[in-house]
Amino acid sequence: MDSGLPTTLDPEPRQGAQAIRRALFLLRVLAAGGESGLPLKEVVQATRLSRPTVHRIVHVLMEEGLVERHERSGRYAIGTQVPELALARPSRSPLLAAADDILRKTSQRVGDTLFLTVRTGNDTLCVDRRIGSYPIQVLSIAVGARRPLGVSSAGVAILAALPAQESRRIAATNEPRFAGYRTDRQTVLSEIADVRRRGYGVREVGLVQGTKSISTWIKTADGDPAAALTISAVRTRLGPRREQEVVETLLKAAYEIEQKIRQASTRRPVQGKGPLAT
């Protein structure tokens, strides 16, 4: 039966969309490199694109000010145009609005550093950090730091709250990037299973030697895991007894944030679905 539709699709729109997706993915990879940037070799490995393709995309992004090359190191990093574009969206995110007061109270109560991390694609992005009152604070992650999902305890917590098939897919996609963080897909999958059993994650050795972190997920009003709440402390401060106290405090804070998000969602008009942090 003739449906009246063309039997083949025009390849141009698809090719154009692919080029845009590749460029955006490359920007996310560079964002994970922070201010120091990444060498071209690591960008090629992380994106799984050919070196000529990566070089071509980087060159175009440099012309537009979205990527810059450090003269001394030869590394590539996010350009000045990216934060300037972000200024066009000054409104506060629903997540940050819901979490603000709860983060302050929780940080004061536990005395250690508290991190709020969101999921953005296959990455995590730290959007808030609260410093506690204890003299020694763990400041391993700065606001704006981006990492592949699965590298940090926050990323593992978010993956654990996703459907198993989706978390496995993301772990497979991010596998080439794991080596740069001294982990691998099997380790990440094992950590995900452990978090699902507990209902929260405990990383005995944090991103910095001698530290320990505890994370749990935060879900949207639709039930999608979009963020994670993490407490990081000097390892000696999180013995068995205090660890359980901190876990209870963390789970309570995450629940309260979820409740505030739900309340806010019932008061505002329905909009297109997107990350809470945007």
Question: For the segment 258-272, what is each residue's pLDDT rounded down to a tens digit?
Answer: 999 988 877 655 444
Query: What domains sit in the chain, N to C, each tagged with a CATH number?
Result: 11-85 (1.10.10.10), 94-267 (3.30.450.40)
- Residue 6's pLDDT is 35
pTM equals 0.73
- 11: pLDDT confidence band, cut at 50, 70 and 90? very low
- 171: pLDDT confidence band, cut at 50, 70 and 90? very high
The rounded distance, in Å, linking the Cα atoms of 246 and 44 is 41
Classify the phi-psi angles of 83: left when phi > 0, otherwise alpha if psi is within -120 to 50, otherwise beta: alpha
The rounded distance, in Å, linking the Cα atoms of 99 and 265 is 14
